[in-house]
Structure 1
Amino acid sequence: MKLFKQFILGAAVILALGFLIPERFVNPVKNATIQSYNQQSFWAYPWGSSITHKGVDIFSKEGTDVLSSTGGLVLYTGEIKKGGNIILILGPKWRLHYYAHLKEIKTSTLAWANRKEIIGTVGTTGNAKGKAPHLHYSIESIIPLPWRKDDSIQGWKKMFYLNPIDYLNTAQH
């Protein structure tokens, strides 16, 4: 029983620390401006085979540097069907930062990414092939936010996603 209590206490401390780490945010596409993305694109419906757009597309010239928007642990780098070349970073407040359609990946799984560190470049991989180069960027909470649920198709999923546009509009440059 003592070991179980120590485990619970340790887990609680780790969880609390994740929320206490400041989440300083920068725009993940170098030199992107508010004109580089559509203010209404988060949770847009219908959105192709994804049904609902759970992020934002930040348009830029192919090969433009993609920066880590916050510090965090790189959980995954690789290729998936829709996202193409992707990076998934666990950042402060137990949030997953998803970077997709990258031309190049310039980090590795289990590396630490510092805020503003170059982690990749803008591209057209995955289902962005044949479209204008852009970074698809989303922020997902590991801990559900039930007050964010809505009544749209896939609305229950909204409690896991934060609107990245709110962060981009106030991002440090």
Structure 2
Amino acid sequence: MTFPYRLLLLCSLVGTVGLSTSLNSNSAHAAPSCPTPALSRFQRHQVNRGETLESIAQRYNLTPATLINMNPAVRNGKVTVGSELQIPPYDGFVVEVSSGQTWRDVAKKYQVRADTLFEINGCQQNLSIVFIPDGSVSPSRFITASPAPADSQPISIAGYPLQKMASVLLAYGWQINPSNGEVFFHSGIDLLAPVGSSVQAIAPGTIVFAEQQGTYGQLVIVNHSGGIQSRYAHLEEIKVSVGQKVNEGDLLGTVGTTGEPTGNRSHLHFEMRSSSDLGWVAEDPQGYLKR
């Protein structure tokens, strides 16, 4: 299938906001904490008088090259009043994946982190048409906090998010769902703890998010210096507010079962993320925790 035809196929599937379920059939099997697939977040823009390709790209925080890739009719860089453009959520492009290829194969080919690619595409298992991010993009763009300045000093983080050491219910990284054998990427670790257990900050920082967020449930996010971020999900109660400064050991909330936690055992879903040119990317939390 040629690239222009592939784009026409995509355009035919995109609705007013999002794709048909033929590209989103696996969303029910997505791993916990995964965002809506990029392909389901496309918008349509009708060109108004006085608009240019550059002004439209700027409006959606995209590059003109992205709009050209998504809209073959504007390959000459000109837009026509009244015509409609497909607007992706991030800079990037769409590819058709050959049968048998894995997320790791696609990530290697296009030099994108496999876990980031997996999350941006909604943690879906069957690859057919895939969105490839290009530039400063993250599956976690619902977070309004900006990445840390380049000259900020790294921080040595070695705290623990619970008052007692806990067993790991589900580890970080690629996992196999025991119920259906599907492979998914788990962006943090799940620490077993009774409902109501205190959840505490692992290091000094600033609260940048503190409310309900999809499958995260009740979620608290702390930005630390050095471009490091910690996330605490499935909380029962939140005890902090956005903008608040916290120190290591300060109470953030309590363990709960909000969102879609794994199984029916109460636990804290804990993540560590670092700021990069791909946005806030997941890191293995074990390297940041006290033994």
Identity, % of aligned positions: 24
Q: Provide closer, same or farther for how the CA distance between residues 50 and 131 of structure 1 changes in structure 2, counting only shifts above 3 A.
A: farther
Correspondence list, 1:72-91, <5 A: 72-91=205-224
> Displacement, 1:85?
0.1
Q: Provide closer, same or farther for how the CA distance between residues 101 and 141 of structure 1 changes in structure 2, counting only shifts above 3 A.
A: same
> Displacement, 1:167?
2.4
Work out the CA distance in 1 between the residues paired with 2:183 and 2:233: 14
> Displacement, 1:129?
8.0
Alignment-derived partner of residue 41 in structure 1: 171
Work out the CA distance in 2 between the residues paired with 1:136 and 1:85: 11
Give unpaired runs (5+ residues) of structure 1. 1-13, 146-156
Work out the CA distance in 1 between the residues paired with 2:165 and 2:223: 23
- Structure number with the bigger relative contact order (C-alpha 8 A, sep ≥ 6) is 1
Structure 2 residue corresponding to 1:16, chosen from 115, 133, 151:
151
Whether 2:247 is the aligned partner of 1:162: answer no
Between Structure 1 and Structure 2, which shows a larger proportion of helix residues? 1
Alignment-derived partner of residue 114 in structure 1: 247
Work out the CA distance in 2 between the residues paired with 1:107 and 1:141: 22
Is the 8 Å Cα contact of residues 227 and 274 (structure 2) preserved in structure 1? Answer: yes
What secondary structure, in the 3-state scheme, does the structure 2 residue paired with 1:166 have? helix
Is the 8 Å Cα contact of residues 175 and 183 (structure 2) preserved in structure 1? Answer: no
Whether 2:239 is the aligned partner of 1:133: answer no
Alignment-derived partner of residue 5 in structure 1: none
Q: Size of the alignment, in residue pairs? A: 141
Instruction: Provide Cα deviations, 1:142-171, integer angstroms capped at 9, x if missing partner.
Output: 1259xxxxxxxxxxx9x9221102223xx1
Amino acid at match of 2:173: W
Q: Provide closer, same or farther for how the CA distance between residues 104 and 129 of structure 1 changes in structure 2, counting only shifts above 3 A.
A: farther
Work out the CA distance in 1 between the residues paired with 2:173 and 2:262: 22
Alignment-derived partner of residue 198 in structure 2: 65
Work out the CA distance in 2 between the residues paired with 1:79 and 1:28: 19
Alignment-derived partner of residue 158 in structure 2: 25
Instruction: Provide Cα deviations, 1:97-151, integer angstroms capped at 9, x if missing partner.
Output: 1110001101001101111101111111000286111110111111259xxxxxx
Alignment-derived partner of residue 100 in structure 1: 233
Alignment-derived partner of residue 107 in structure 2: none
Q: Provide closer, same or farther for how the CA distance between residues 55 and 90 of structure 1 changes in structure 2, counting only shifts above 3 A.
A: same
Work out the CA distance in 2 between the residues paired with 1:50 and 1:114: 37
Amino acid at match of 2:175: Y
What secondary structure, in the 3-state scheme, does the structure 2 residue paired with 1:165 have? helix
Work out the CA distance in 1 between the residues paired with 2:215 and 2:162: 20
Of 49-58 and 92-101, more deviation after overlay is shown by 49-58
- Provide TM-score, normalisation by structure 1: 0.71
- Provide TM-score, normalisation by structure 2: 0.44
Is the 8 Å Cα contact of residues 206 and 243 (structure 2) preserved in structure 1? Answer: yes
Work out the CA distance in 2 between the residues paired with 1:130 and 1:124: 10
Is the 8 Å Cα contact of residues 191 and 269 (structure 2) preserved in structure 1? Answer: yes
Alignment-derived partner of residue 153 in structure 1: none
Work out the CA distance in 1 between the residues paired with 2:206 and 2:188: 20
> Displacement, 1:31?
0.9
